[in-house]
Chains A and B, each alone.
Chain A
Amino acid sequence: MGEVYFWIFLVFFVAVATLVSRKIKDHLDFYVMGERAPWYMITGTLAATYLSAVTLLGIAGTHYNIGPLTISTFGSFGAWLGTMIACFYIGREFKALKCRTMPDFFQRRFKNPYVTAIATLVMVVGLIGYGVIQLIGAGYILHQVTGLEYSTVIIGFGIALMLFMALSGMWGVVVTDTLMLIFMLVVGFVLSPWLASIAGGPAHIVADTTQRLGAEYWTLGGTAGFGIGWHLAQFLVWVLFFACTPALVMRVFPAKNDFALMKGALVGILLAPLLQLFPYFVGSSAMQVLQPGIEPADRVLVVGFFEYIPAGLGAFGLVAIMAAIMSTASSLFIAAGFGLSRDLYENLFNPELTEKKRLMVARICQVFIAVIVLVVSLMELDAIYWISIWAGAIFAVGWLPTVVGGLEWRNMTNAAALASMICGTASFIIIKDFVDRGLMTLPPEIDPLFIGLFISIAALIIAGKLSKPTQANLEYFEEIKRTRLSDQVLADAKGNPEKFAELKKDYQQTKVLAIALLVVAVVVFGTMGFLYARPLM
Chain B
Amino acid sequence: MASHVLLLFFNAILLMVITCGIALYILKKEYAPFLESEEKEQSGKSQ
Contacts and interface: CB of A to CB of B under 8 A. Distances in A.
Interface of A: 69, 72-74, 77, 80-81, 84, 88, 215, 218-220, 262, 265-266, 269-270, 273, 277, 281, 484, 486, 489-490, 493-494, 497, 500, 503-504, 507, 510-511, 514-515, 517-518, 521-522, 525-526, 528-529, 532-534, 536-537
Contacts of B20: 266, 514-515, 517-518
Contacts of A515: 20, 24
A486 B30 contact: yes
Which residue, B2, B5, B6, B18, has most C-beta atoms of chain A within 10 A?
B5
Contacts of B35: 503-504, 507
A269 B16 contact: yes
Contacts of B34: 490, 493
A115 to B, nearest CB: 30
Instruction: Determine chain B's interface SS by DSSP, over half rule.
Output: helix
A74 B7 CA distance: 9
A521 B13 contact: yes
B15 A536 contact: no
A490 B27 CA distance: 12
Contacts of A536: 1-2, 5
Contacts of B13: 521-522, 525-526
A189 B40 CA distance: 46
Instruction: Determine chain A's interface SS by DSSP, over half rule.
Output: helix
A84 B22 contact: yes
A27 B32 CA distance: 35
22 contacts: A69-B5, A80-B12, A80-B15, A88-B19, A88-B23, A218-B4, A266-B20, A269-B16, A270-B16, A273-B15, A277-B8, A281-B8, A486-B26, A490-B34, A514-B23, A514-B27, A517-B16, A521-B13, A521-B17, A525-B9, A525-B13, A532-B5
B23 A262 contact: yes
Given A265-B19, A266-B20, A510-B27, 10 more contacts: A73-B11, A219-B4, A220-B4, A490-B30, A497-B42, A503-B35, A511-B27, A514-B23, A515-B20, A529-B10
A132 B27 CA distance: 40
Nearest to B9: A529
Given A80-B15, A493-B38, A73 B8 contact: yes
Nearest to B24: A514
A84 B4 contact: no
Contacts of A77: 8, 11-12, 15
Contacts of B2: 533-534, 536-537
Contacts of B26: 88, 262, 486
Contacts of A266: 19-20, 23
A518 B12 contact: no
A390 to B, nearest CB: 27
A124 B19 CA distance: 30
Nearest to B28: A511
A507 B26 CA distance: 10
Task: State the 9 A-B residue pairs at the shortest beta-carbon distance, nearest first.
Answer: A529-B9, A521-B16, A486-B30, A536-B2, A533-B2, A514-B20, A533-B5, A77-B11, A525-B9
A269 B8 contact: no
B44 to A, nearest CB: 13
Contacts of A220: 4, 7
A273 B12 contact: yes
Nearest to A504: B35
Contacts of A532: 5
A220 B2 CA distance: 11
B29 to A, nearest CB: 9
Contact of B1 (A80, A218, A497): A218
Given A486-B26, A503-B35, A536-B1, A518 B9 contact: no
Given A219-B4, A273-B15, A518-B16, A507 B27 contact: yes
Contacts of B42: 497, 500
B1 A215 contact: yes
A368 B5 CA distance: 46
Contacts of A528: 9
A487 to B, nearest CB: 8
Nearest to B33: A490
Given A493-B38, A521-B13, A511 B1 contact: no
B22 A88 contact: yes
Contacts of A533: 2-3, 5-6
Contacts of A511: 24, 27
B21 to A, nearest CB: 8
A269 B20 CA distance: 10
Which residue, B1, B24, B35, has most C-beta atoms of chain A within 10 A?
B1
A406 to B, nearest CB: 21
Which residue, B2, B8, B27, has most C-beta atoms of chain A within 10 A?
B8
A391 B38 CA distance: 48
A81 B18 contact: yes
Nearest to A528: B9
A522 B6 CA distance: 12
A518 B17 contact: yes
A219 to B, nearest CB: 5
A335 B43 CA distance: 48
A509 to B, nearest CB: 11
A508 B23 CA distance: 12
B8 A69 contact: yes
B41 to A, nearest CB: 9
